[in-house]
Amino acid sequence: MSKKISLGAGLALAAISAAVTVSITYVYAMNSFNEKVADVNERQAMYTKLSEIDQKVRQDYVGEIDEELLSDSICAGYVAGLGDAQAKYYSAQKYKEYESGLTGKSVGVGVVTVQDEDGNMEVVDVLPGSAAESSGIQKGDVIVSLDGKEIVRLTYGDAVNKLDGQAGTTVELGILRPSAEEGGASEQISLTVTRAEYTQRSLTVSTINGNVGYLAISQFSEGTDSQFNTELTKLLQSGVAGIVIDVRNNLGGDMEVMANILDTLLPAGNTVSLADSSGNVTVEYTSQANEIAVPISVIVNESTYGAAELFAADIQDYKKGLLVGTKTAGSGQKQDIISLSDGSAVLISVGEYLRISGESFNGVGIDVDVEKELDSDQAALLSRRQLLPSEDVQVQAAVAALIRQGVQVAEPPEETEEAAESQPEETASSAEASSSAESNAGASSTAE
């Protein structure tokens, strides 16, 4: 039997509910207001302090103030104060260089260098069509000075940045060129190079071990996806039985370019998902149903970053292939570039990329299926782009991983052959026992 509530009681209950609602709303509003006031006060204190410093300096400082440098330094200091290792401030000039880098084209000398034991710049690649190529710079040359300043007296990073600049400007390079004869003295030469536009090389392609396609991606920049798909089509038409994709030392790049490559490799599904500062998840890119039929191995290392990490994670999560090498860097945040009114810009982290499972890999990295490390000598050769695939133990481990996936490799790695030869021949009875044991356990083999 239902109970009736009198009109007076109902009105009283409604009044109490309204009062509670108003009270809660008031408390929330006050807390929000107080937080905003505190935030405003903190910012005002920061502006006041900066103004005080500026006033005191201009009053007492005996040196000359470069206003542009001062402004850029203040902005750079603010961004550094965020504690975000990925955040950066770009002056107007640096922002132009950043934008040109996204297109795969830059303006400068056009060489790739590594720091040698003496702190100088060893040229490991001369980009085709670059000013360096037309000036006669060679792979193996060691740059020891820039415009008369010794590299060892500059930081290596500063020296690298000084190679790029405005088209038409010149830079004088002091170079040590190793002798062509073993034990001969190095030649000292000076070259004046006129900076010009050059195209970055982000993809290297070859056929290894007889019938395995090898594609090394150094970064995901504009055009890398179309180049990759074109070269992959050629490899498949040539009859390769498996694909090795090398993203070691890949610092990431354009996530859309990376997703376009995944679209060729993976079945239908989400490929790039992002969680923002509020925890909201957005699917940014997906893969269509088309996918290649051949098995894949992906090589990664501790210098595999960002988009390259998510690339490897998706291959692993979709069970499309095996990861070989060492755990990746764990750089899984999305950075947005925000242009400012004077042509400068700030790059800040605005979210975290997620694996298919919804887990973040930022600060964690991506674990490999097959762990294989390079020794120090091989690592040095790899950084100099001098490590041949046939002598690269990680590349050969990736080929062996293709064999584990059922690929009939024409020229198996030596380690694989030795392992096969060392296995005792299986008798009929032992095969039956093994089959019975697997049947009873209901087990299926998985990649380690």
Residue 162 has pLDDT above 70, yes or no: yes
Could you give the 3-state DSSP secondary structure of residue 44? helix
**Is 32 a domain residue?**
no
Geometric angle at alpha carbon 380, from 387 and 174, rounded to 5°: 105
pLDDT in the model for residue 239: 96
Distance CA 330, CA 303 (A): 9
The domain that contains 209 carries what CATH number?
A: 3.90.226.10
Report the distance separating Cα 379 and Cα 376, nearest Å.
Answer: 5
pLDDT tens string 274-305 = 999 889 999 999 999 989 999 999 999 999 99
Same domain, 360 and 263: yes
Q: What is the DSSP letter of 118?
A: T
pLDDT at position 13: 57
Is pLDDT at 253 greater than 50 in this prediction? yes
Mean pLDDT of the 357-368 span: 96
What residue ranges in 355-398 does DSSP mark as E strands?
A: 370-371
**Quick one: pLDDT at residue 38?**
59
pLDDT at residue 358, as a whole number:
94
Strand runs labelled E in 84-169? 88-90, 105-108, 111-115, 121-126, 142-146, 149-150
Check whether residue 114 and residue 257 sit in a common domain: no
Average pLDDT over residues 137-150: 94
Q: 102 falls in which pLDDT band (50, 70, 90)?
A: low
266 and 232 in a common domain: yes
Query: Is residue 366 domain-shared with residue 403, that is, in the same domain?
Result: yes
Q: How many domains does the chain fold into?
A: 2
Task: Give the per-residue pLDDT at 369.
Answer: 98
Supply the pLDDT for residue 130: 92
Residues 150, 286 share a domain: no
As a whole number of angstroms, the distance between CA 125 and CA 111 comes to 6
Domain membership flag for residue 61: no
> Is residue 9, in this structure, part of any structural domain at all?
no
User: 181 and 219: one domain?
Assistant: no
Do 227 and 123 share a structural domain?
Answer: no
Whether residue 439 has pLDDT greater than 50:
no
Tokens of 417: 């052959």
pLDDT, residue 29, reads 53
Q: How many residues does the chain have?
A: 448
Helix (H, G, I), strand (E, B) or coil at 336: strand
Q: Per residue in 168-182, pLDDT tens?
A: 999 999 999 988 777
418, pLDDT greater than 50? no
User: Is 29 part of any domain?
Assistant: no
In a domain, 46, yes or no: no
Asked if residue 439 belongs to a domain, the reply is no
The pLDDT confidence band at residue 98, using thresholds 50, 70 and 90, is: confident
Tell me what pLDDT residue 195 has: 94
Provide the residue range defining the domain that includes 274: 203-420
Contacts of 59 (CB under 8 A, 6+ apart): none
Residue 253, classed as helix, strand or coil, is strand
Q: What is the CATH number of the domain that holds 187?
A: 2.30.42.10
What's the average model confidence in pLDDT over 40-58?
83
| pLDDT value of position 440 | 33
In a domain, 25, yes or no: no
